[in-house]
Every structure is written in C-alpha cells, then in structure tokens.
Amino acid sequence: MSSIIVTKSSDETREFAVKFAAGLKGGEVIALVGELGAGKTLFVQGLAAGFHISRKYYVNSPTFTILNIYEGGKMPIYHFDWYRLGSENECLDIGLEEYFDGKGVSVIEWADKFPKLLPEKTVWIKIDVEGEKKRRITVS
C-alpha cells in the first residue's frame, strides 16, 4: 500500500516529516530516495523535530560522516547516508544490523544504492522534484 503527498515548500516537506514521525514506534527502517537537492536531509530534520530532539543537535547531512546519531528525543534517530559508499561490504562495516534492530529509527539517504541490505520491514520514501519548490513524496 502506498500513499502520495505533494508539498509546495521546504517547510511543508518538513512538516510532513513531523507528522510522519508521530506514527513511528521504534525499530523502523526508512529508506529515502531522491536526487541531489530533492530534500532527503530536510525530511530527516522534520523527523527530528517530530521526535522533539533538542535543537542543540544539528541535523545535517551525513554524506561525509556516513552516520549521524541524534539522541535525547522520543527515540534515537540513526541517520545514514550511502552516497559516498562504494559497495555493500562498506555498508556492512558500519554495523548496519545493530542499528536496524536497535530501539531507534534508522533513516537511510541514497538507500536505493544497496536495496539488498535493507530488511523486509523497510518503509520507502521517494521524493521527486516536480518544480522549484514542489515535491512529490511517495511512501510505500
């Protein structure tokens, strides 16, 4: 089952993520898909706001750091970014399973690079660029 929503600004995209966060219970794996500039990191900022993670935490892109962990909210967010990773083995080196089975929510940017590594329970969120500010978000 999938649902589609269209947002007309970056704030609307974040607000959607805030609402989406309310339905999360822990242990979920969220795969984020979308081109450069689509708003994947933005979506995670919304999740963090939804979890009431302190604004002292900078929820920014983990492209270089590969994994950011935000604690202190409703539950931890494990924020991955596979943009720079070259192989499934490199992903596994990070200790993926530990996080996937952890009490927090795992969110993975560029998850479509290595779909085989994702568990069956994964929720896929695809962000398509429809216009300058317009985005179509498909949850499946």
Partner 1 sequence: MLVLGIESSCDETAVAIIKTPKTVLADIVASQNELHAPFGGVVPEIASRRHMENIVPLLNAALKKAGCTIDDIGGIAVTRAPGLIGALLVGVSFAKALSYAKQKPLIGINHLEGHLNAAHLEYDDISYPHIGLVVSGGHTSLYLVKEFGNYKLLGATRDDAAGEAFDKVAKLLGLGYPGGPAIDKIAPSGDPKSFKFARPKLNRGSRFEISELDFSFSGIKTEVMLKIKKMGGSLSKNDIINIAASFQYTVVDIISNQILKACVKYSCFDCVVSGGVAANSLLRKSLAKVCSENKLRLFLPSLSYCTDNASMIAFVGAKRLEAGLSDNFGIKACANEEIGVI
Specify the residue, 3 or 89, whose C-beta has the smaller distance to partner 1: 89
Q: Give the separation between CA 101 and CA 118, rounded to whole angstroms.
A: 12
Query: Is residue 123 involved in binding partner 1 (CB under 8 A)?
Result: no
Contact partners, residue 47, CB within 8 Å, separation at least 6: 17, 18, 20, 21, 24, 77, 105, 107
Specify the residue, 123 or 129, whose C-beta has the smaller distance to partner 1: 129
Q: Give the separation between CA 27 and CA 45, rounded to whole angstroms.
A: 18
Q: Give the separation between CA 111 and CA 23, rounded to whole angstroms.
A: 21
- The residue with tokens 């892109």 is 61
To partner 1, the closest distance from the beta carbon of 71 in angstroms equals 8
Binding-residue pattern over the window 78 to 117 for partner 1, x denoting contact by CB under 8 A: ------xx---xx--xxx----------------------
Specify the residue, 56 or 121, whose C-beta has the smaller distance to partner 1: 56
Binding site for partner 1 (CB under 8 A): 11, 14, 35-37, 39, 41-42, 45, 49, 56-61, 63-71, 84-85, 89-90, 93-95, 129, 132
